[in-house]
Structure 1
Amino acid sequence: MAKIRRTTTLRGRIDRGGRTSSVRRVLALGAVPALLVAGVVGVAAVDRIDPGVAPAVAADTPFTIAGRGHGHGRGMGQWGAYGYAKNDGWSAERIVGHYYGGTELGDVTDRRLGVRLAGLDGKTLAAYSDAGARVAGRDVAPGEGVHLTPTPGGGAGVVVTSGCDGEVLWQTTTDHPWVDPIDPGVDRPANEHLTICGGPAYRGSLGVALDGAESRVLNHVDIEDYLLGVVPVEARADWADTGGAEALRAQAIAARSYAAAEHRYPYAETCDTQDCQVYGGSAKEDPRTTDAVRTTTGKVITRDGQPVAAEFSASTGGYTAGGEFAAVEDLGDAGSPNHNWTQTFTAGEIGKAFEVGELRSVSVVERNNLGADGGRVKELEVVGSDGTARVSGKDARTKLGLKSDWFTVTEGLVPAAPTPAPGPDVLAEPGSPDAAVEPTEIEKKYAEIGGPAGPLGKPIGPEMSMPDESGRFRMFEGGAIVWTETLGVQVVDASIVISELPTGSDG
């Protein structure tokens, strides 16, 4: 019978004495041989199994998940669009034609949207305008606060105050539950925008509605004005400075199409979060993305004459996922910082994430057969001492916090794949933004001491968590760097690491 390593408890501190410390024990994980495990993901059920069928993997055993892309991969890849625009000179029209097969460009005009401001769910609307506003058929002076509370039947209670929280000036009820700007036209100056007290400003009107018994705050806005606050938070305006202006124009077309196809609630077409499209209001606007919106005014992607929900994600990894739009190769994605990625977990973390007890095995049951490595995971099986979980690739991504559902699983530490030179990143798909990544404390320390040319040499494994999540570490040719909240970041000499590697006995 195979001998099983004993699980140890790691406390994330360096022992100054002669005994093996918890940090040194963590660093020893770098010596575990990498054994390929066929991977699969997708949850259906957890079945009870005989605990004696197979030995459990020690909880501190590392597993490397190597993947491609960031996001669901359906429709347009934002990094791919940038690559095609910058490197191949593609126009926005050619970009959307590539990703959204079986569609054509059409026009939408005079379209206004109701946007649910989800962060204000359950709250009273309190807003003002520097230029004044109108509510309940009356003018409101500049700076005066308007407070709306929705009432049954579609109306609202109105309270107007001196400033946002001053004395009450007047109050009433109305069947028009909206605060309107002094001029309802499109592209009005910033002083006419309505500002949430203590929050962002918005073009258009602000109002309230009831969703059952709970209040909702809404922004009623022209679709072109709405896009001015979407494109700069769903893409990066500075792409226009590096040859990517057409990618921003493609983003504007896709975002307009997505919004025009939305019919999400009885009281609003869409929302302002990742569940729909991220919308930051007028404070997030940028002249470069405003230009992308204005130069594509009204353009939408259509099928059978109707706008389609043109999904997009940050990085496809080199091949789109298919679905509503036919899967296509995405050569433009080669420059994405997430074209290839690795994430590392312990066996204990995997077992806990899938609620199967002590981990026994992880295997991919089915892939979509698109792209390298067999493509995206359709079903994954995770076997543990308490049962077996079968999950979809999407669910596995959620449970482990992976960047996409296109991945392989390997037992042990695997060197990270080379990544492209740093560049502007994007906020990703509706529902899963892909933000620019801040260097970790370990990465900062490694750069500070010279990187690959410094005393530690090249990395020999990815950065990973300690099994008890008390800190993180990374192995290098000449030693390791360890970070804990208590100690901060520490460089551990290679000779100490080597002397503390386990001998293979349970001793």
Structure 2
Amino acid sequence: MARQSIGRRGRIRRRRLIVGRPLRNGWRPSVARAAAIGLAPALLVGAGIGAFVHSAPDTPDVVQAVSADTPFTFTGYGHGHGRGMGQWGAYGYAQDGWTAERIIAHYYGGTELGSVEDQMIAVRLVGRDDKTLDVYSDSGLNVGGEFVPAGQAVHLTPTEDGGANVVVTEGCSGATVAQRHADLPWVDPVDLGEDRPFEEHLTFCSDDKTYRGALGIVLDNGAYRTVNRLHVEDYLRSVVPAEALPSWADSGGAEALRAQAIAARSYALAEKRHELWQTCDTTDCQVYAGSGAEDPRTDDGVRTTRGTVLMKNGEVVRSEFSASTGGYTAGGIFPPVEDAGDRVAPNHQWAKTLTAGEIGSKFGVGELQAFEIIGRNQLGPDGGRVTRVRVVGSDRTIETTGAEARTTLGLRSDWFTVKEGVDETVPEITPAPEPGPEVVADPFGSGSGTSPIEQAYLELGGVESVLGKPIGPELMLPDERGKFRIFTGGAIVWTPELGAQVIDASFLKDWFSTGSAE
């Protein structure tokens, strides 16, 4: 809630930061066809995450806009959504002598450490979408129960019956040795066991990237998807060095890497992305780059925490983390806490300057007239993270979340203040090395391309939610104002104005047939 103060006439009013000139004639709310795509309120199934749009005033008064080249400085703290563990904070605490277990307990209040047996995990390799599966192994491999020796490569194309057409060649591009159909579209190494030697790993022909475990190619509503199935502990050997800095172990931060292993293991095992895979290999999930990314220092963090996970009410917890909290976590699933360890973060404090023209253009409001911070979470200095902003322009007014404002403006976090002019008293955003991209459970926390539709779907429970399985990819709305995805039990529509909304899928049929929901 925003802080309040008493006005001169005794009225309680919100204290807010307003950048730009206020509208003399105010603004008037309007339904605006349910704010951008005509979503009938009766069709809304779930609560939306997003903005409210207000039409421009009808009165003929002229409202002066802020000069397009007027600079505004956004000053903030931290890098990421700030929920759960701060990776730089964990490093700072490790240097102070904290153990991984103490670090985890500090950031993930209300949970307890538990233990799970090693199990397999299926990971979608997003960069391989819509490609055939073309691999080899220095030790040979197996397809459909038949051994393919070293020196030969296999090329799999998925078929509608759940199998694959297989072509075996000399090397990756040599003469064809054999062609056949496999009932299962999987390529197995000579041994599917954990911690196998490098020469047994499967290697892609296109870039020589190596992967532990098996590789398969499946059809997802007609589209090719490559999936890596491997032991969780093997998977983490690639994830931890991608999400944290292995060099921390050389400067008193080994316990931070152990804490990262626990958080990453918990997050992966709590994932339920799709019936064909649990998680993916991009910043939308956790970064995973195959066995070539492994590092002995992070291997040690995985090995010494083997099977350790965060649990609550008997279930593994989907443990969020981000690069830097700025000194205070954001709350949410886990209670907010002070993060003294974050003092070592290169982006503990940052600043970014944008012009009024850039701000107005990014929000699509026309010429900027005012940028108002109208809500904060009251956690930490300066009122804490921004929860709500209002952007007033010559064409329209938008109210949106601080997280969306962060993404739209390209800020390091949603914990910021703003003032007119260039502020040279705080450092610019540093190019210093950061841990891997944050893991998020909100639509706009990462600033890294995370799909708000997929995040809303996961928050509802993924394939186990009332929406059920997805039956198509994310597609653009006809007017290109947003995107949608259809599931067996409904649909999710997203626009910059409304955020993510769960609707009755039949509404989309009306939209496509008429181009309007009216």
Q: Do the structures match in fold with TM over 0.5?
A: yes
Whichever residue aligns with residue 59 of structure 1, its letter is: A
Q: Secondary structure at the match of 2:94?
A: helix
Distance 1:49 1:399 in 2: 25
Whichever residue aligns with residue 173 of structure 2, its letter is: D
Match of 1:160 in 2: 168
Percent sequence identity over matched residues? 58
CA contact (8 A) 2:407 2:447 kept: no
Give the C-alpha shift of residue 217 in structure 1. Answer: 0.3
Whichever residue aligns with residue 144 of structure 1, its letter is: Q
Give the C-alpha shift of residue 425 in structure 1. Answer: 2.7
Match of 2:365 in 1: 356
Structure 1 residues 246-395: aligned runs within 5 Å:
246-395=255-404
Q: Secondary structure at the match of 1:64?
A: strand
Alignment match of 1:98 (pick from 85, 99, 106): 106
Structure 1 residues 387-466: aligned runs within 5 Å:
387-417=396-426, 425-430=434-439
Match of 1:43 in 2: 51
CA pair 93-420 structure 1, distance change in 2 beyond 3 A: farther
Q: Secondary structure at the match of 1:256?
A: helix
CA pair 131-46 structure 1, distance change in 2 beyond 3 A: farther
CA contact (8 A) 1:360 1:385 kept: yes
User: TM-score normalized by structure 2?
Assistant: 0.74
CA contact (8 A) 2:352 2:428 kept: no
1:171 to 2:179 alignment: yes
5+ residue gaps, structure 2, are 1-15, 21-48, 449-518
Distance 2:151 2:421 in 1: 61
Structure 1 residues 143-222: aligned runs within 5 Å:
143-199=151-207, 200-222=209-231
How many pairs align?
A: 399
CA pair 381-422 structure 1, distance change in 2 beyond 3 A: closer
Residue deviations 1:18-43 (CA, integer Å, cap 9, x gap) = xxxxxxxxxxxxxxxxxx94479963
Distance 1:425 1:233 in 2: 10
Give the C-alpha shift of residue 164 in structure 1. Answer: 1.1
CA pair 416-187 structure 1, distance change in 2 beyond 3 A: farther
User: TM-score normalized by structure 1?
Assistant: 0.76
CA pair 407-420 structure 1, distance change in 2 beyond 3 A: closer
1:126 to 2:170 alignment: no
Distance 1:420 1:355 in 2: 25
CA contact (8 A) 2:410 2:447 kept: no
CA contact (8 A) 1:319 1:327 kept: yes
Give the C-alpha shift of residue 175 in structure 1. Answer: 1.7
Q: Secondary structure at the match of 1:230?
A: helix
Distance 1:380 1:293 in 2: 41
Q: Secondary structure at the match of 1:389?
A: strand
Give the C-alpha shift of residue 77 in structure 1. Answer: 0.2
CA contact (8 A) 1:314 1:434 kept: no
**What's the RMSD between the two structures over aligned residues?**
2.1
CA contact (8 A) 2:350 2:429 kept: no
Match of 2:504 in 1: none
Q: Secondary structure at the match of 1:219?
A: strand
Match of 2:78 in 1: 69
Distance 2:173 2:306 in 1: 39
Give the C-alpha shift of residue 389 in structure 1. Answer: 1.0
Distance 1:153 1:329 in 2: 55
CA pair 170-341 structure 1, distance change in 2 beyond 3 A: same
Match of 2:67 in 1: 58
